[in-house]
Amino acid sequence: MPEDAKTPQDSPPPQDRVVRTRHSLRVNGAELHCTATAGTVVLREEAEKDGVSEGEKARAELFFIAYTKDAETPEPASRPIVFSFNGGPGSSSVWLHLGLLGPKRVAMDAVGNPTPPPYALLENEHSLLGEADLVFIDPVSTGYSRVLSGETPKDYHDFKKDIESVGDFIRLYLSRARRWSSPKFLIGESYGTTRAAGLSSYLQERHGVNLNGLMLVSSILDFQTARFEPGNDLPYVLFLPTYAATAHYHGKLGELQDRPLPEVLREVEGFALGDYASALLKGRRLGDAERRRVRRKLAGYTGLSEDFLESCNLRVEIMRFTKELRRSERLTVGRLDSRFTGRDRDAAGESPSYDPSYATIQGSYTATFNDYVRRDLGYESDRNYEILGSLYKTWRWSEHENKYINVGENLRRAMSQNPHLRVHVASGYYDLATPYFATEYTLEHLALEGALWDNLSVSYYEAGHMMYVHEESLRQLNQALSAFVRGG
């Protein structure tokens, strides 16, 4: 062997790699100075062989970006800290970072359409930095986070392992940054809300970290509410109000069109939980007269024809709806945000060939982040920053095999053991990925006791899954989250 050749055992152990930069911005009319820290932290776990401990072994490195307000005194312990992540599974934290919380946001028009490329960032006057320090976390295989040599990525593509690795990072950050005395919050979006609910109990029970609050943006805690499968009629009931909101936005509700959206939705919700749910539950027992009556109402609330609804057996799956609503115009509507429309090559298909609401924002967030992390934050890497991968296709649910995932119980347990834990849930009326009525159903079935119900609050926005791309919704959401953090 040549003298300069090295075996894997000779390689230097992996180390944290972080860079720090100083920044300033205006939030709520006041100038704010902060320090940004961007980089990777090595996660180590106890290694065993034949039941004998071999000490800690480096398993993975997690990429993060933290913003800490420059304090007048050196001790920041009294300032709240918010840990943020997105969902997927397989998404980086870029959406909440550059859309809602961070010091910069992607430039868009008031509706949520990006400017033409090349894209730009604006100073985010709605940043939550006015209320709290922020830490954005990319779980393993998202962003720049990766397993280390000798480890297997799929080990981390698991419901339980994902929660453990993110929770262990949070514990490590609190120790190294000396933030154990800070008020602590989590904010997650989409599957990130599933992760947040799981973390609320994991952090509490494994690391003794009692949180002050959870902020759940476009929440999904009970997956039965969103799985269109034979024998599960729940999604058809719970998606119906969002179908109605979408039809209302696109001018397809006939005589209901001139009524305010919230008023229309209250009526549809009553029908969904009443006559419609009853009709679906009856199955073959549903009589012809009642079927016609329900079908007629369903057509009026969805903008779809009675013939189409009959062909669907009164059950409209989400992709069929997004394809059918404006099929006569050769248009589809979005899943993440049903305000947006797209065009497929084949207007006769069963489902859209792409989600126009995701296509609208993907390029702008990808380009601006890759420029920002290098130019402004000074972090250089040749790795591909994984914005949003398809890990959800192979994600493992080892603890939930043969049953629907429901982390509502994790949240109930955490709130019961820590009665000071508060939860705020933000939902968009035009979100067909995690519909607001499905979220309401989940919250109302948490089985909380007594005064714990007062720890739950909700807010609604006339936008979609990423409601913050809509400028007015961004302003309103910032007000709601800021008040929530102050209250914690």
Question: How many C-alpha atoms does 90 have within 13 Å on its Cβ side?
Answer: 11
Rounded to whole angstroms, the maximal C-alpha distance in the chain is 88
Confidence category of residue 77, pLDDT binned at 50, 70, 90: confident
Distance CA 324, CA 304 (A): 7
Q: Which SS3 state, helix, strand or coil, does residue 13 take?
A: coil
Which DSSP category does 230 fall into? Answer: T
What H or E segment, with its residue span, contains residue 242? helix 234-249
User: Which residue, among 216, 164, 182, 151, has the nearest Cα to 68 in the 3D structure?
Assistant: 182
Confidence of residue 381 (pLDDT cuts 50, 70, 90): very high
* Contact partners, residue 364, CB within 8 Å, separation at least 6: 106, 107, 108, 114, 115, 117, 119
Helix, strand, coil shares, percent, the chain, to 5: 40, 20, 35
The CA-to-CA distance between both ends of the chain, in Å, stands at 62
Average pLDDT (300-309) is 98
pLDDT at 412 over 80: yes
Note the pLDDT of residue 399: 79
Whole-angstrom Cα distance, residue 200 to residue 459? 21
Least confident of 53-57, 74-78, 194-198, 310-314: 74-78
pLDDT in tens, 256-275: 999 999 999 999 999 999 99
pLDDT tens readout for residues 433-455: 999 999 999 999 999 999 999 99
Residues 6+ apart with CB under 8 A from 388: 88, 90, 91, 92, 142, 362
pLDDT confidence of 242, banded at 50, 70, 90?
very high
Instruction: For residue 89, say if its preceding peptide bond is cis, omega within 30 degrees of 0.
Output: yes
Cβ distance 399 to 196 under 8 Å? no
Confidence (pLDDT) at 234: 98
Give the Cα separation of 111 and 172 in Å (integer).
40
State the pairing for strand pair 213-219/332-333.
Answer: unpaired
d(CA 94, CA 100): 10
Q: Percent of the chain beyond pLDDT 70?
A: 95
What does the alpha-carbon distance between residue 35 and residue 75 come to, in Å, rounded to a whole number? 14
Domains of the chain: 16-224+361-487 (3.40.50.1820), 228-354 (no CATH)
In which element (H, E) is residue 67 found?
A: strand 52-69
pLDDT at residue 262 in the model: 96
SS3 199: helix
Which residues, in sequence order, are CB contacts of 51 under 8 Å at separation 6+?
none
pTM comes to: 0.94
Query: What pLDDT does residue 30 have?
Result: 84
d(CA 421, CA 211): 6
> Is the distance from CB of 32 to CB of 69 less than 8 angstroms?
yes
- Tell me which H or E stretch contains 415: helix 408-417
What is the residue whose two structure tokens read 């679906």? Answer: 280
> Which has the closest alpha carbon to 76: 34, 40, 124, 22?
34
Question: What DSSP string describes 318-340?
Answer: HHHHHHHTTGGGT-EE-SS-TT-
Q: Could you read off the pLDDT of 159-187 as tens digits, one per residue?
A: 999 999 999 999 999 999 999 999 999 99
The pLDDT score that the predictor gives to residue 9 is: 57
Nearest Cα to Cα of residue 246 among 184, 315, 323: 323
